[in-house]
Structure 1
Amino acid sequence: MTSTDTAPRRAGSPAGPARLVLPLACAAQFMVILDASIVNVALPSVRADLGFTATGLAWVVNGYLLAFAGFMLPGGRAADLFGPRRALVAGLALFSAASLAGGLAAAPEILVAARLAQGMGAALMAPATLAVINTFFTEPGARARAFGAWSAAGGVGGMAGALAGGAITTGLSWRWVFLVNVPIGAALIAVALVSLARTRSGRRDSLDLTGAVTGTAGLAGLIYGITQGAEHAWTSPRVAVPVAAGVILLAAFVAVEARFAARPMVPLRLFRIRGIAAGNGLLLLFGGITIAMWYFTSLFLQNVLGFSALSAGLGQTPAAVTFMLAARWAGPLLPRIGARLLLAAGGALFLAGFGWLSLAGAGTAYLTGVLGPTLLVAVGIGLTFPTLMAVATADAPEGDAGVVGGLANTAGQAGGSIGLAVLATAAGSRAAAETGASPAEALASGYGLVFLMAAGIGVVLAALGVLLPSHRHTR
């Protein structure tokens, strides 16, 4: 945890204007995750209006995700060097300005550039919100509850994207999918300046530019190549070249951080801390759970049961609400029963929920075959995600809260990208093997395999929970 940019510590939750800190952190996280999906429903209108090619249109989504994941580590270090207040305000300003540019875009290139800038702004915001929580919430129970609220805000943001995007595009225009961020961003900047006004600047070290370039480019190349694996053979140059380049650059990044950087962007000593090392490893694994739940369940509803995109979003809303409630429960439970028991409970719910969901087919009723199991999985995710985030960031040394938050966010993003590529490949192979089945049943078989794999990931995740620190509180 950093103390170089904080006011004098108070036990428990902040008081006065600082009471706005948690709503601010949750609102910023909501925006970050919302914009990863809100544009999806608007893509046909975007393509028709701006004349995108099919390949170019994908970059409206991928540009944001790649910039977000690739710049997370420099964003985390920026929060440590300049203080989470400055990093959060800068991220909100960049995000809002990029949203304005995207909403006013008159050409495909402008919109893609705006999405890249949005992703960079989000990469400043996300780790800064974690650093702010670690700074202002010092008592274990209060911090755990704050992480529960923060996790719930991100989860709801992800689910709200399809609904909000559909409603805004239908009622106004696709441009307002971006423009709506401008007044919200301005309001959050004002709140940040008031609620974080008593924080001091971070330490004045220089930024590790070599580490920032190799780490960012390596992550971007690796994640881009892995995501291409969902559509192309793993031996294809479109997969192998960026993956190989990413691995080489990440190896160079490790060498720079270990031997050459005077002040490393990611000090490798952090991985000697049990909670940080184990927590990030489990977050990487957890990415497959979230992809299986939200992405593949949405595909099942649309491609197998015939739901529209908007109806699929509505069909997943009960699970999103359940996740939000469970994430809030995880906060007070974590200091009482510990991370290991919460992960064990989550693993049991993943096994039951995904196992049940794997039985669904083309004739399955939504209420009995989809709603029930997704509610179980949502409770499991709600208990697991804030627990892992709290453990992975709680023991951050002084001055490293930002980069530790960036590491945790990067692990989750990278895990989701890897999970998407692996699970999509498995689903496609299984569906292709069902030569005698109808298209809907073949797809159902592929998705069923994905859900079984997710159940297995959940069990492994719970078993590996023994690697986490044994203490019940998060400090």
Structure 2
Amino acid sequence: MPTRQPADAARAMILPLALAQFICSYAGTAMNVAITPMARDLHTSVFGVQATITLFTLTMAALMIPGSKLTDIWGRKQCLVAGLLLYGIGALLAAVAPRLGVMILGNALLEGVGSALMIPPIYILITVMAPDLPTRAKYFGIVGGAGALGAATGPLIGGVITSFITWRASFLLQVLVIAWIVVLIRRLPATPRPTPAPRFDLTGALLSAAGLLLVVLAVLQSTTYSWTTARTDFAVAGRVLIAEGGLSPVWPTLALGAVLLGVFGLHLRRTERRGREPLLRLRLFGDRAANLGLGTQAVQWLVMQGTFFVTAVYLQNARGYSAILTGLVLTPATVGILASSAAAERFARRRTQRTLIVGGFVATVTGLALLLILVGTGSGVWRTVPGLLLAGLGLGTMLTASVNLVQSAFPDRDQGDISGLSRAVSNLGSSLGTALAGSVIVSAAEPGRHPYAASLGVLTAIGAIGLGLAVLLPRTAKPARTAQPQSAATPR
């Protein structure tokens, strides 16, 4: 029946979209357990492989907003397919890479660009095709749970594959999943390109990409150089720019990135005043609830990635666990995220988005506090279960609610813009979580100090800040619109 066509299309699309989010999240963590064998097989150093992982993160974060804008120019399905194909080619190159250069091209560049093209359409398609807020929450919960599952099981699956087969098989697995996704979406009708096609703001794309790249790079530098004084010389092309003991290069890099983002904002205003199409509409920043929702998203991803990172490093370095055992210990957090994500539709029918976000933060902060207290009183693995499970339940609850709040606050015409901005903010939070946790561990790694407890303490405090942002959400804050399902034949 015609009235069921949009709902049927939405149900048909959710599996490939969830798989796409899963594989992107999986790729971000799976390589961390295979750095040493990869360095050996690629005839490079551990630093070379780590630089490749960092470059993947930088590429994806820097191009998320421009990639999202292309959905308005190429069409949403077309952009998704282009991203999948680029990602698949990149993963195949990485699987057969003989040297580091090919690995950088495949994994860092092609997979990074592919991720930036295919992630925004995931959230746009759910927003415009889900018929109501609870259904949209259900689909966001499935996709969010898939992303969390990919990030959490990346070390476990990657560890198993690396230990029993080879790290190259992990990339071949990604190729197979991408091929499966392409098959699944082949029946989804292509979204016609709008006529006339919007102008692509190249200047804005360059400014936003450069600004975000520098901000993320500054955050990642904190692990190597610390947040205060440089632990080692900072050199570019063999020339020492900041000597050991000087001001950490994190701050000059962060300042330059902030300046470029400020110039980007001025460019957007000037472009709009001239009646041209900007990369982002400034009206996106005029919704208080959505702005606070973006802030809670950043904190949520920071806390989640930071907690996974700290726990994994603690178990492997302090307790001597293998990558496989580490992944198993993290299972309670994964179960918590999946359980609360699966209940997203029911939660959305009974509670406001504000209530869910506040409740999620309360559960997460309580879980982190339990993790600190229980692990500090003994060494049994079971002591990590209550804290990780509770934190996972809280994270899954508020991740879905925050995405739903932000995406649903804007009409269809702004979905390309807000999706890119939302994903860029989430990526920034993820990068900051890992880098901040890592820098605290390094700075506190002195005799008599407790680096892992210090890192968890910092993450708990940041979670409390996120709770403060959630409390500031308007009590009556609801989406500015209830999206009506968009038929497959609707333009864009």
- What letter matches 1:282 in structure 2? T
* Separation of aligned partners in 1, 2:112 and 2:2: 33
**Does 2:81 match 1:89?**
yes
* Separation of aligned partners in 1, 2:194 and 2:144: 26
**Counterpart for residue 339 of structure 2:** 325
* Separation of aligned partners in 1, 2:218 and 2:462: 22
The CA deviation at 1:75 is 1.1
Match of 1:102 among 87, 90, 94: 94
SS in 1 for 2:44: coil
**Does 2:231 match 1:226?**
no
**Does 2:198 match 1:205?**
yes
The CA deviation at 1:42 is 2.1
* Separation of aligned partners in 2, 1:461 and 1:170: 38
* Separation of aligned partners in 2, 1:176 and 1:83: 33
SS in 1 for 2:7: coil
C-alpha contact 1:343 1:461 (8 A) present in aligned 2:
no
Q: For 1:447-466, list aligned pairs within 5 A.
A: 447-466=452-471
* Separation of aligned partners in 2, 1:76 and 1:372: 38
SS in 1 for 2:298: helix
Q: For 1:327-406, list aligned pairs within 5 A.
A: 327-359=341-373, 360-361=375-376, 363-367=378-382, 369-406=383-420
* Separation of aligned partners in 2, 1:91 and 1:351: 36
Q: For 1:21-36, list aligned pairs within 5 A.
A: 21-36=13-28
C-alpha contact 1:79 1:202 (8 A) present in aligned 2:
no
**Counterpart for residue 236 of structure 2:** none
How many residue pairs get matched?
Answer: 456
The CA deviation at 1:243 is 2.2
Q: Which string of whole-angstrom CA distances, capped at 9 and with x for unpartnered residues, describes residues 77-129 of structure 1? A: 11122221011000001000111111121211110111221011001111110
C-alpha contact 1:127 1:409 (8 A) present in aligned 2:
yes
**Does 2:308 match 1:303?**
no
The CA deviation at 1:188 is 1.3
The answer to which of 73-82 and 168-177 deviates more is 168-177
**Counterpart for residue 126 of structure 2:** 133
Q: For 1:149-298, list aligned pairs within 5 A.
A: 149-195=142-188, 197=189, 199-202=191-194, 204-234=197-227, 235-236=229-230, 237=242, 238-260=249-271, 262-298=276-312
Q: Which string of whole-angstrom CA distances, capped at 9 and with x for unpartnered residues, describes residues 322-376 of structure 1? A: 2111112133212421122212222221232111111224842110x21111111
Match of 1:117 among 88, 110, 119: 110
Match of 1:20 among 12, 21, 29: 12
Query: In 2 relative to 1, CA 198–428 (structure 1 residues): closer, same or farther, beyond 3 Å?
Result: closer
Where structure 1 has 5 or more consecutive residues not aligned to the other structure, the ranges are 1-7
SS in 1 for 2:330: helix
The CA deviation at 1:291 is 2.6
Q: How large is the RMSD of aligned CA atoms in angstroms?
A: 2.2
C-alpha contact 1:12 1:137 (8 A) present in aligned 2:
no
Query: In 2 relative to 1, CA 28–469 (structure 1 residues): closer, same or farther, beyond 3 Å?
Result: farther
SS in 2 for 1:14: helix
The CA deviation at 1:384 is 1.0
Q: Which string of whole-angstrom CA distances, capped at 9 and with x for unpartnered residues, describes residues 182-224 of structure 1? A: 23212212322312x1633245111100000110111011101
* Separation of aligned partners in 2, 1:49 and 1:338: 52
The TM-score normalised by the length of structure 2 is 0.87
**Counterpart for residue 47 of structure 1:** 39
SS in 2 for 1:207: coil
The CA deviation at 1:260 is 3.0
- What letter matches 1:293 in structure 2? T
- What letter matches 1:225 in structure 2? A
